[in-house]
Structure formats: structure tokens, C-alpha cells
A and B are shown apart, each in its own frame.
Chain A
Amino acid sequence: MSLAFDDYGRPYIILREQGSKKRMKGLEAYKSNILAAKAIANTLSSSLGPKGMDKMLVSADGDVSVTNDGATIVEKMEIQHPTAKLLVELSQSQDAEIGDGTTGVVVLAGKLLEQALTLLDKGIHPLKISDGFDRACDVAIKHLDQIAEEIDIQQNDHEALIQAACTALGSKVVSKRKRELGKIAVTAVLDVADLTRKDVNLDLIKIQTKTGGSVEDTRLISGILIDKDMSHPQMKKEVTDAKICLLTCPFEPPKPKTKHNINISNAEDYKKLYQQEQQYFVDMVKLVKNSGANIALCQWGFDDEANHLLLQNELPAVRWVSGTDVELIAMATGARIIPRFQEITPQKLGKAGSIREVQFGTSNERMLVIENCQCTKAVTILIRGGSQMIVDEAKRSIHDAICVIRNLIKDNRIVYGGGSAELACALQVLQYADEVSSVEQYAVRSFADALEGIPNCLADNCGLNPITSVAQAKSRQLAEKNPRIGIDCMELGTSDMKEQKIYETLSSKKQQIQLATQVVKMILKIDDVIAPDDY
């Protein structure tokens, strides 16, 4: 423990309650941090690639989830080690920014740290290592830009997009239906994409899950599915040519926000008030009806009397529609969200081809489908599956696929997967290493080794001999000057990833390398960990 003495030889305290703190310094701290981060990377590494395995995670309350998605795994592991937590954030920022490649980024960081450990043992200063990594990273990124290819996303019925989605889905439990699901994801994204601005608002794609059936039964609904039913059991279950009135005010007498009291002091007042109350309901329904609406969707509840008046006026209505659904419906049907009954005008109504109630299975679960909306800019993917775990995992997988497609629409440059891009960068970095005259040379070389770790890991997961297959791929890349040679994970008989159609987005790959390098640099800069003892 760090204990300091003053001029008179009396000890004084630097850290408050120093005795109860755990402290690690210097090399010990580096090693402990690296080992902790590596432990996480090791857990994730077996999930990488098309033959990667899943993890089963049991939450504190005993709920089970099975997943292959890196970000979800690390999030649900409830990691407590401070440095390991940095990797959790790393995976999550990749998820937030790109949406895919969350496993790869952690594995790469792990490989980099592994290399850093051997460099530390050689006695190289951590800052030199991180400088070297930094320079190597720049080289790799530049090289990625060079080997990237632009693809025509329109061509051949968006074949390229479907292939990219399939690559993302290939490692998941739903991989059997990757083609179908990929198509669903591509159609969904293209439906809502703004191709001129090259932007996709993912909020417009609603992913609804429902257990039952099988993953094959997953389908795309060009419209919105809401988990609600009509407010009155006897209302019409189907409305065609719907004119939707979207309300955020309850069918109830108004509740002013200021606190008030209405004092009733005689019978006259009482009667008057009663009449007024009745009048409220009549007026509300009349206002909706007069606008020409034939269905009302409301974010709030209905009073029994209002509910019945709606039925009597043949105005189907839905209550307690969630806020996000209200916004989605507004966007899809062109409806304006109306906060006061007085403000209902025919122009503010949304239009949809049909609204109907659908029922699932034997239990009494019904949902409303809004189809053929005026501005078909919202779609729903309804995911089915044999159990909650499968449905949840399918949802995560489809989310990944959607993100990949969005990234391709934003930036249509791709690199090839199967570890080929990493190998190409590794070769480039290795070449550059010899040009570096200082100590950093070793770090740069190690960076190349770390990049090779990714194809290595892929080959390992596929049951191939990692060393031979990586060595083969490397020599072929050099000999044929072909940066598309990777690991043939699916044993299709070719190592050219262009032929295998394994597409990954350039933005994702770049982000992976940059983020991983950044986190490793950060971890390498920590030389002192002070934590409460019971931590």
C-alpha cells in the first residue's frame, strides 16, 4: 500500500480509508486488466462466424435467453470487473452505431490485448504499444478503403442487399431461413428508406413478436400491427377505406390540470351538472363522427358511456394505443395527432385501406392490422417461433440484418467477409511495419498478428485447422494479389468470398477496427486501479 511519511516520520493518508481499498499498480494492474478483458473476449470468440455457437444466459430472476448476438451476451452477463466493463461498452457502441459486428469487435479487442501482453513482457512501454497500434490502425483503415468495392444495390432485384442480410443472419439460430428472412428485412428497409437522402428511419419498422407457429411463418405486413383490440366487443372487426381519427385525449369529461372544486349547493346545480356531463359525451362523439372519421384510435381510456355512444354511432374505436404506436400510425396514415376534440377537422384524418382484427391460436389474443396506409412508410415484421427464446433471438437477428441493409443504403461500399478483409489489412500492416524505425515496429507487427486472429478464430469455430487454413489463405492473397481470399467456413469449395457472396459493410468493418483499437489504447493507459475492497 502506498504510505507516505512527512518530515517527522509520521505517516499520512493519501487515500481516504486506505485500508479498505484494493489497489493495483504498474505491471500488475496492466496484466490484471488485460486478463479480465481477455476473459470476456474468450467467451465471445466461440460465437463468431457462421458456425459460431450460442450462449445461454440466465438472469438474476431466472429468466433464460439464448443468443448469438455479442452485444446482448455481454449486456446480460452482468459483468462487474471495471476493465471488462469497457468491453461491454465497446460492444454496445458498435451496436448503437452500426448494429452488427458486435461480437467481432470484442474478439478483435481481445486479440489486440493478447498481443499487448506479450509486448509488455518484452519490456516495451505501454504508451509505445498504443502508439504503434494507433499507427497500424490508420494503415489498416486506409487499406480497407482501397480494397472496398462499390456495389449496385438496385441491381438484380436488390440481390446484393439480400446477400448482405444473409451474411448477417448466417450466424444466428434462424440461419436456416436466412434467405426468406433476409428478403423480408430488405423489403422492409426499402419500403421505409428515403433513397434520395440515403437515410432510413428505423423507427418506421416495427418488429412485433408472437410465439406460436415456426420461424418460417414470420412475415412482413405492409402496414402496422398493434397489439390491441376494439374497445367494445360488438364493434365492427373490419373497416375498409378507413379514415382514422388519432386522438390523445380520453373520451372522458375533461380534467383541467389546475386543481379546482365545483361546489354543488342545490339540486338545480346538480341537475345542470349531470346534463353537462351527458352533453360532453354526445359532443365528443359527434365531433369525431362529423369529421367523417370511421375509426377512432385513442391513446387514453374511454368511459363506459362514451364507449357505448361510439358503438351506437357505428364508430369502431381502440383505446390505450401506446404512444409509439400512435406516432407510427400518424406517420403511416398521414393522420395528425389530435390533442383536443375541438380541433378535429376532416383534413387531420389519416387514411388506410383496411383495418381489421386478427386472431392467433386458441387463446384469445387478437391484434389489429392497419394495411395499405396512405403513405406506406411504415411496416411491421411479425416474428413467429416455437418459443419465447426463439422469437426473441429472431428479433435480435432481424434487427442486425436491418441495420446492415440500412448501412449499405447509406454507404454502398462493401468489403468481403470470411476474414478476408482482416487478412488483407494484416498483410498491409505487416508490410508497413518494416518501415517503422522505432520501438513501435513491434507493436505494429503485433497489430497485424491480432488482425489475423479473426480468420483464425473463424476457422477454429468451423472445425478447420486454424493455422493451416489461415496460412493458406494468406499465401494465396499474396500470390494472387486478391484481397478476397478468406476462410471457407461453409465448406463450399472456394475461398474467394466474392464467389461465396459474403458481404460485409465497409462502415461496419472500419468501425470495428477503430473502436477496438481505441478501447485497447484506453486499457493500456491504466496503470493504477483503486477500488473498494469488497468490490
Chain B
Amino acid sequence: MDIVGNVLPQVLKDEATEDKGEMARLQSFVGAIAVADLVKTTLGPKGMDKILKPTGPGQEMSHITVTNDGATILKSMYVENPAAKILIEISKTQDEEVGDGTTTVAVLAGELLREGEKLIQKRIHPQHVIAGWRIARDIALKRLRDISTENDINSQEFHDDLVKIARTTLSSKLITSDRDYFADLCVNAVLRLKGSSNLDYIQIIKLPGGTIRDSYLDDGFILKKQITIGCKRRIENAKILVANTAMDYDKIKIYGTKVKVNSMDKVAEIEAAEKEKMKHKVDKILKYQPTVFVNRQLIYNYPEQLLADAGITVIEHADFEGMERVAAATGAEILSTFDAPERSEQILGHCDLIEEIMIGEEKMIKFSGCKKNEACTIVLRGASTHILDEVDRSIHDALCVLITTVKNRRVVWGGGNSEMQMAAACEEEAKKVQGKQAFAIEAFAKALRQIPTIICDNGGYDSAELIQNFKVELQKGNITYGLNMTDGTIGNMSELGVKECLRVKEQALLAASEAAELIMRVDNIVKCAPRKRERA
């Protein structure tokens, strides 16, 4: 019914709902803040983990995940609130773009909205709030870029920076006690890529057993496969032929072929011809004179035997990624036809030693001393698959951050330093701006300051006290100070070696303010009637 009392006709479908104005805004705020609060406790070095348990029947549903990674938590959650979905979306984008800061971005957007809600209650129009936020964002971004420093890519300082960044990233994860060890490990792995940003070349193998400390970086390349029975287990100076070709039943690809014979002899003949064809292929492969043959597809017994007879070690059914890595590491070309043996020098990959090794209980093939040294393997060990999965995610985060740093090279101080500096810049600006926007700029500063506050709270420290002291230190001009979360004091970050990657902070700031703006601009939520699902 409208205000005059006319009965309004139903315009939308049954079960569809439309919320307007205050109601719509309230819904957005509640949803977004709830999601932010949910991941808030995982923030910082003293953040806690979450257990994610899938619902529903089935065996795989009983597999739980223990994690500290914001993106993983948010991705696995099922939420209905549309504003909450936006927060989850930005967290996912952060994960894809820079790999870390996934919790920060959701929390920052949530805090912005929490402050925004207060302004709305003060009867400030959302568009004014947005106008203020936009000013604040630019100021914050400028300050963030100003305080960042850059080191030459080949210098020792840059290398130290990388280790520090990796350590900072890992300190909020499960492996925080071994962070120095893993930081070195990640930095070495990333530096091997020599500036390329292809994470594929860093392989992570997870094997339950041993302790986290037993994890190591293998400069060679490890393929999770076994050498076929009857072949040599150790090959020195291997020449490797990497192929993607059918070695099982090599059918003719011309469409519509069909074998139609009228006697048993003919069947035998064709069988012989088929066999000959395979033999022919093997012969062609042999012309390349490899000592190791790696194929993506299955290899049947017959060609396998032929190859083994020629003294070639055969590795079959390597997955596609594995193949690409073998090819990249050994400098081999992936072959599907075998008609150019004269090019064998360029085509064959090379490595000093291939051997079958045992890690834990599993047999694997290790390629060491490869021609191109880009690829490497991180072997993770740990007490359970849950731990391994979490360590995998942590290492992945660290690697992503390091790769981003190698690309961007700019770093800022950690320990909440950058957020506090940005907040300070916004507050200075707020004093100069005329009009209602100033409130929004102040709100932006408050939201930024919430990040170190939450980190303190999660560590069980007196956040109000610490943050105020922190502000004072910055005011005094000690611009490298930050939160020392091991002692619960304010310390000099350059002494503690806590650094963060500028790109991660930048992306978090941009994405969070964009998302908050998007949600703030909404004054109407229309939900369509949910699609009816037929029960199968």
C-alpha cells in the first residue's frame, strides 16, 4: 500500500522482495560488518585460525580445513547477504592479484562501512560520505607511496628486504615459529625465477610425516611419478625427450575409418601393421638418442619394452603441469611428432642426474643439475594433511608477495606503520577540507587505524594504550616505529626487520575503498524470486 492507502498491484514475482532506503542500507551494513568481524580475529601475528567444516552428506564432506587465510575462509562460506558477497568478492580478487592481505581488505572495507553507518545516522547523505572517502583515499594512497622505499634489485639490501617481507607474511601463519627458515626458503625459490613471475615453476610437494622443520627446498625438480619397472634407476648425464604422444593405441585420426576384413589372416596382418606402426614410432624416437623418455600419456607394454631394450628409462603418464615443468627445467621441447632427429640437440633436455628417491614412504623421480635452473621444488613435511594444507597456503601467500615485490620493488614498514601513517595523513587533510566531507575523511582515518587496533586486540594487548603511544611516536618523527607484537610494545621496525610489500597495501586500500563505496551507494535492494530447484 502506498501512503494514500491505494492497494498497489504486485509488480515483482512472488517471493521476490524489494527493500528501499534505510532498510536496504541497514541490510548492507549488517551483512558487510558481520563478514568483516568474522575474519577479524585471524588478523596479525597473534591471529587465530578457523576450522571450516563442509555440510552435507558424503565422505568428502567430512574433510575439514584449518586455516588462517582470509580468502580461503571467505571463499568457503555460504552467505546470502548481497553486501557480504561483495566483501568476499574483493577478498578473492586480492588473492588473485597479489596473493596476500586477503583478510586486511575485508576487514578494512567492513570498518569503513561501520564508520560510514555512524555518519549516516548523523544524517549525512551517502554521496557526501563517498565524496569524503574519495578525497581520503587519494591522500592515503599518496602518503603510502611517499613512505615506501625502493632498493636496487641486485643489491644485498633488496635481498634482505625480501627475507623480511617473507618473514612478516609468514608470522601470522601456523609456521610462525619457523618463519626464518621458511622465509629463506621462499626467497631462494623466488630468486631462482630470475624475475619471471610464473609460479608454476615452483612446485610444492606435500608429504605427511616428519615435522614442519623437515621441509626443504630442492634445487632440482621432483616429479611425483615412478620409473617404469625394468629401467635404470639412476641416470647420469641424462638426455631427456619430453613427449606428448599416444603410446598406447595409436589410432588413425582420419574420420570414419573402420576395419572390415573377411578372414582371420587379414586381422593378423592388420595387427602386425599396427604393431609395426608403433615400432616405427619407437624407432623414430630412438633416432633422437635420448636416455630418458618422458611421456604425458600412457605407454603400453610393447613400446615400453622396445624402449627399455634400447636402454632408455621410461617415465609414463606424467601430468600436463609436470611435463611443462620438466620441459622448462631441462630445456626440452615437448614433442608430438618425431621426424626431425637432426634437431635433437635443441630438442632434448639435459640434466646431470636423474634418480629415484624416497621421500617419506613415497618414491619419486628427482632431476638435478638441470640445464635451465628455473624450476625448483619445495618439499613440505608435517604431521597431518591439515597442517600441510595450511603450510601450503602460507607458503603460497609468501611466494605471491615475494613475486609481487620483485616486480614492484617498493616496500613499506610493517607492524601497522603504513596504516597509522595513512590515517595521520587523512586527519591532517580533514582539518583543511570545508563541508561535511571532512567527517567522512576522519571516518576513513578511523577505519585505517582500526587495523593496528585489531592486531593489538588479537594479541591480547591494551590496544587503546598502544595505539595512542604509537601515534605519539609518529608525531615525534619516529616514522619507522610500529607494533612489536612479541613484546606488546611500540618498537622500531627497522631494528625488528618488519617490512611489507607496497603493492599489497595499495591493492588492499584501493579494493576496500571501492567496495565500501559500492555498498554505500546502494539505496535499494531487489531480490529476485529464488530459482526453484527440482529434486533430482
Per the bound structure, the CA–CA distance linking A264 and B270 in Å amounts to: 9
B90 near A53 with CB under 8 A, answer no
Per the bound structure, the CA–CA distance linking A152 and B16 in Å amounts to: 48
Tell whether A173 is near chain B: CB-to-CB under 8 Å: yes
For residue B294, give the distance in angstroms from its CB to the closest CB of chain A: 14
Instruction: Determine the chain B residues whose CB is within 8 A of the CB of A253 once the complex forms.
Output: 253-255
Tell whether A522 is near chain B: CB-to-CB under 8 Å: no
Interface membership of chain A positions 260-272, coded 1 if the CB is closer than 8 angstroms to chain B and 0 otherwise = 1111111100110
Per the bound structure, the CA–CA distance linking A362 and B336 in Å amounts to: 30
Instruction: Determine the chain A residues whose CB is within 8 A of the CB of B244 once the complex forms.
Output: 304, 308
Of residues 190 to 232 in B, which have CB atoms within 8 Å of A's CB atoms? 197-200
Of residues 187 to 240 in A, which have CB atoms within 8 Å of B's CB atoms? 211-216, 232-234
Tell whether B404 is near chain A: CB-to-CB under 8 Å: yes
Per the bound structure, the CA–CA distance linking A363 and B93 in Å amounts to: 10
Interface membership of chain B positions 273-310, coded 1 if the CB is closer than 8 angstroms to chain A and 0 otherwise = 11011000000000000000000000000000000000
Of residues 487 to 534 in B, which have CB atoms within 8 Å of A's CB atoms? 507, 510-512, 514-515, 517-519, 521-531
Q: Select one of B198, B335, B529 contacting A60, CB under 8 A.
A: B529
Instruction: Determine the chain A residues whose CB is within 8 A of the CB of B254 once the complex forms.
Output: 253, 262, 273, 276-277, 280
B277 near A54 with CB under 8 A, answer no
Interface centre among B28, B269, B524 (most CB of A within 10 A): B524
B514 near A390 with CB under 8 A, answer yes
Per the bound structure, the CA–CA distance linking A81 and B16 in Å amounts to: 13
Closest B residue to A363 by beta carbon equals B96
Q: How many residues of B sit at the interface, in one of the four size bands?
A: 35 or more
Chain A interface, >50% SS class:
mixed
Binds B, one of A39-47, A90-98, A374-382, A479-487: A39-47
Tell whether B160 is near chain A: CB-to-CB under 8 Å: no
Binds B, one of A72-80, A142-150, A399-407, A438-446: A72-80
A76 near B261 with CB under 8 A, answer no
Q: Select one of B83, B256, B510 contacting A214, CB under 8 A.
A: B510
> How many residues belonging to A are interface residues under a CB distance threshold of 8 Å?
86
Per the bound structure, the CA–CA distance linking A385 and B514 in Å amounts to: 8
Interface membership of chain A positions 448-490, coded 1 if the CB is closer than 8 angstroms to chain B and 0 otherwise = 0000000000000001000000000000000000000000000
Known: A46-B524, A53-B126, A390-B514. A261 touches B273 (CB 8 A): no
Binds B, one of A61-69, A105-113, A316-324, A497-505: A61-69
Closest B residue to A34 by beta carbon equals B9
For residue B28, give the distance in angstroms from its CB to the closest CB of chain A: 7
Per the bound structure, the CA–CA distance linking A77 and B336 in Å amounts to: 52
Tell whether B260 is near chain A: CB-to-CB under 8 Å: yes
Of residues 296 to 311 in A, which have CB atoms within 8 Å of B's CB atoms? 303-305, 307-309, 311
Q: Select one of A84, A173, A386 contacting B511, CB under 8 A.
A: A386
Instruction: Determine the chain A residues whose CB is within 8 A of the CB of B527 once the complex forms.
Output: 57-58
For residue A233, give the distance in angstroms from its CB to the closest CB of chain B: 5
Q: Select one of B2, B93, B277, B404 contacting A387, CB under 8 A.
A: B93
Per the bound structure, the CA–CA distance linking A254 and B507 in Å amounts to: 50
Instruction: Determine the chain B residues whose CB is within 8 A of the CB of A43 once the complex forms.
Output: 18, 20, 524, 526
Instruction: Determine the chain B residues whose CB is within 8 A of the CB of A388 once the complex forms.
Output: 89, 93
Instruction: Determine the chain B residues whose CB is within 8 A of the CB of A120 once the complex forms.
Output: none
Tell whether A361 is near chain B: CB-to-CB under 8 Å: yes
Per the bound structure, the CA–CA distance linking A56 and B83 in Å amounts to: 9
For residue A254, give the distance in angstroms from its CB to the closest CB of chain B: 7
Per the bound structure, the CA–CA distance linking A362 and B199 in Å amounts to: 8
Of residues 53 to 102 in B, which have CB atoms within 8 Å of A's CB atoms? 80, 82-83, 85-86, 89-90, 92-93, 95-99
For residue A268, give the distance in angstroms from its CB to the closest CB of chain B: 8
Instruction: Determine the chain B residues whose CB is within 8 A of the CB of A365 once the complex forms.
Output: 96
Closest A residue to B85 by beta carbon equals A64
Tell whether B486 is near chain A: CB-to-CB under 8 Å: no
Closest A residue to B89 by beta carbon equals A387
Instruction: Determine the chain A residues whose CB is within 8 A of the CB of B97 once the complex forms.
Output: 211-213, 360-362
Closest A residue to B334 by beta carbon equals A234
Per the bound structure, the CA–CA distance linking A277 and B327 in Å amounts to: 27
B518 near A390 with CB under 8 A, answer yes
Of residues 4 to 27 in B, which have CB atoms within 8 Å of A's CB atoms? 6, 8-13, 16, 18, 20, 24
A362 near B403 with CB under 8 A, answer yes
Per the bound structure, the CA–CA distance linking A76 and B526 in Å amounts to: 9
B522 near A66 with CB under 8 A, answer yes
B270 near A267 with CB under 8 A, answer yes
Known: A78-B12, A267-B272, A308-B336. A387 touches B90 (CB 8 A): yes
For residue A281, give the distance in angstroms from its CB to the closest CB of chain B: 7
Q: Can you identify 27 A-B contacts, CB atoms within 8 angstroms?
A: A51-B127, A53-B127, A55-B522, A55-B526, A56-B524, A56-B526, A211-B97, A212-B507, A214-B514, A260-B256, A261-B258, A265-B259, A266-B266, A270-B270, A274-B252, A281-B337, A359-B197, A362-B95, A362-B99, A362-B403, A362-B404, A364-B198, A364-B200, A385-B514, A387-B89, A387-B92, A387-B511
Which 5 interchain pairs have the tightest Cβ spacing? A308-B336, A386-B511, A53-B523, A212-B97, A267-B269
- A residues in contact (CB < 8 Å) with B: 31-32, 35-36, 39-40, 43, 46, 51, 53-62, 64, 66, 68, 73, 76-81, 84, 173, 176, 211-216, 232-234, 252-256, 259-267, 270-271, 273-274, 276-277, 280-281, 303-305, 307-309, 311-312, 359-365, 385-390, 393, 463
